[in-house]
Structure 1
Amino acid sequence: MTIDGEESYIAQSGSIYIPAGVKHCPLSVDRVTHPFAFSALSIAPVCDAEPTVQVLPDRS
Structure 2
Amino acid sequence: LAVLTALVCGFGGLLFSYYIEIPSGPAIILWCGAFYLVSVLFGLEGGIIPKWLRHKKHRRA
Question: When the two structures are superposed, what TM-score results if normalisation uses the length of structure 2?
Answer: 0.21
**Structure (1 or 2) with the greater helix fraction:** 2
Q: Which has the larger radius of gyration?
A: 2
Question: When the two structures are superposed, what TM-score results if normalisation uses the length of structure 1?
Answer: 0.21
**Structure (1 or 2) with the greater strand fraction:** 1
Greater RCO structure (CA 8 Å; 6+ sep)? 1
